[in-house]
Amino acid sequence: MRYILLFWATPLLLLWGWFFLSYYDWNFGFLFLSREFHDFAFQIYGNILGIEPSTIPLLVAKACVLDTAIILAIYAFRRRRQIMSWVADKRQSYFGPLDESILNRSSAP
């Protein structure tokens, strides 16, 4: 799971790092971080996809959010026992021990 998280986070960091550096034209002398290259790249993507280049970052952001949610759901499912024990410990530290008689009570008076 560690490698999945690594291979998921690295491209996202590289993509959004490039996007924001080139969007604000913080190029540090590199052509690929310039605003001109940024506009050129999104113009090419827009022409290939047949959509307006300004809509591409929003679409990519939505895809990244969905991918992140799927990866976190898989991670939470794999670690559900640890997560539930952590939640139980926190609940007990805030509210005290659980009263079992509340759980065993029937709904009829």
Is 106 contained in some domain? no
Is 108 contained in some domain? no
Average pLDDT over residues 64-93: 92
Domain count, the chain: 1
Is 34 contained in some domain? yes
Q: Given pLDDT bands bounded at 50, 70 and 90, which one contains residue 54?
A: very high
Is 102 contained in some domain? no
Q: Given pLDDT bands bounded at 50, 70 and 90, which one contains residue 105?
A: low
Nearest alpha-carbon partner for 9 in 63, 66, 71, 55: 71
Cβ–Cβ under 8 Å, residues 27 and 33: yes
Is 109 contained in some domain? no
Per-residue pLDDT for 108 more than 60? no
Is 59 contained in some domain? yes
Is 50 contained in some domain? yes
Domain residues for the domain of 74 are: 2-96
Is 11 contained in some domain? yes
Q: How far apart are CA 42 and CA 58, in angstroms?
A: 12
